[in-house]
Amino acid sequence: MNKFPERLSAELEKRSILGNRRALSFPDDLIDFASNDYLGLAKNLTLRKQIEVESQIKMDYSLGATGSRLLTGNTEFSEELEQALAQHYRAESALIFNSGYMANLGLLSTVVKREDTLIYDVNCHASIREGIQLSRANNYGFKHNDLNDLRKKLRKGQGQKYVVVESVYSMEGDIAPLKSMVSLCNEENALLIVDEAHATGIYGEKGEGLCVQEGLEQSIFARVYTFGKAIGHHGAIVAGSRKLKDYLINFSKSFIYTTALPYHSLVCIKEAVQFAAKSDELRKKLGKNIRLYCELVGGGNLSPIQTVLSKGNEETKKLAEKVRSKGFSIFPILHPTVPKGSERLRICLHAFNTSDQIKELLTLISR
């Protein structure tokens, strides 16, 4: 048998004891209240057909990109797609990364320097935290969505100051006060970076996200859009100035030292973003479901991500199992993904969920 260090085995064992050992499972065929496919595009047959037709147009396409964008992996198609995406998200330029994780890592670790200060919302995604660690900049977390604490931390900053937030928080589902954050960053001479992963495709007239919906795009240094959530595919862009794109092409390791996305993936992104832009009906249905959920619980978030707080890994797992046994796909979010004591069920609403399904789910949980 291949050797495996004792210390690592012990770590796995500890997870079993604490009840938070992760394991892979297959997708179920329960009613979907778990996936990030908020508009149902990942399974949309019309979109799938469009992608099939579009990817056949170019008969001589290569199955793989065959190299990094800086070597053999760049094509006219990728550059045209970036221009179209920049236009769609109202930015001067866009640079494609292979995933949102890579985009956050590549952006933060490259642009923010050791002598700079990075201030981040404490509930930011792991990819943001990892990017911050790699940058080795001075960094301070500010209390979730708390403008006063953000101001305090901004005043401690040295060098160029950056603030990183998510527009919709992946685990809480609540929304950042972007307008106030832009004003605060202007006052304090800081540059704002917004991860729009869970807003992409959902907010804005054509799914351009919350920054565009609020008319803030010109005031934000960099925006990250991901295509693996409501867009139903994979990949991401960093949107910002031409100089930012040029800088990332020159220095961002997660852009430079990796094989570019294959042609077929680029076609999927192009078609799915266009499809999402025209999917007003789906956005309306999703909006209706979000409003219904909020009405029923007398609160909730104005986003597709809702949470039911529970306590402790074991109790949360048990609650999720009960709900699943009644036919609803739901996952428990456990420590260490979230802080101890804030374990929860994460409920994702979709355009395709019916009112009855939402009502049934909530009755079940409240019982």
Ligand X SMILES: Cc1ncc(COP(=O)(O)O)c(C=O)c1O
Contact residues for ligand X (CB under 6 A)?
99-101, 104, 125, 127, 166, 170, 195, 197, 226, 228, 236
User: Minimum CB separation from ligand X for residue 226, in Å?
Assistant: 4
Q: How many angstroms separate the CA atoms of 21 and 42, rounded? A: 29
Asked if 162 and 112 touch (Cβ cutoff 8 Å), the reply is yes
Question: 81 or 292: whose CB is closer to ligand X?
Answer: 81
User: Minimum CB separation from ligand X for residue 364, in Å?
Assistant: 26
If one counts every other C-beta atom within 10 angstroms of the C-beta of residue 164, the result is 27
Question: 181 or 365: whose CB is closer to ligand X?
Answer: 181
Question: 134 or 362: whose CB is closer to ligand X?
Answer: 134
User: Minimum CB separation from ligand X for residue 196, in Å?
Assistant: 8
Question: 176 or 365: whose CB is closer to ligand X?
Answer: 176
Q: Is 3 exposed, middle or buried (0-12, 13-18, 19+ CB in 10 A)?
A: exposed
Asked if 213 and 203 touch (Cβ cutoff 8 Å), the reply is yes
User: Minimum CB separation from ligand X for residue 106, in Å?
Assistant: 11
- Amino acid 174 reads D
Question: 192 or 236: whose CB is closer to ligand X?
Answer: 236
Kindly report whether the peptide bond that precedes residue 336 is cis, defined as omega within 30 degrees of 0: yes
Q: Which residue is nearest to ligand X (CB)?
A: 100
User: Minimum CB separation from ligand X for residue 76, in Å?
Assistant: 25
Please give the distance of CA 223 from its chain centroid, rounded to a whole number.
11
- Amino acid 80 reads E
- Amino acid 197 reads A
Question: Beta strand pairing status for 93-97 and 236-240?
Answer: antiparallel
- Amino acid 77 reads F
Phi/psi of residue 7, each to 5°? -60, -40
User: Minimum CB separation from ligand X for residue 361, in Å?
Assistant: 22
Question: 40 or 173: whose CB is closer to ligand X?
Answer: 173
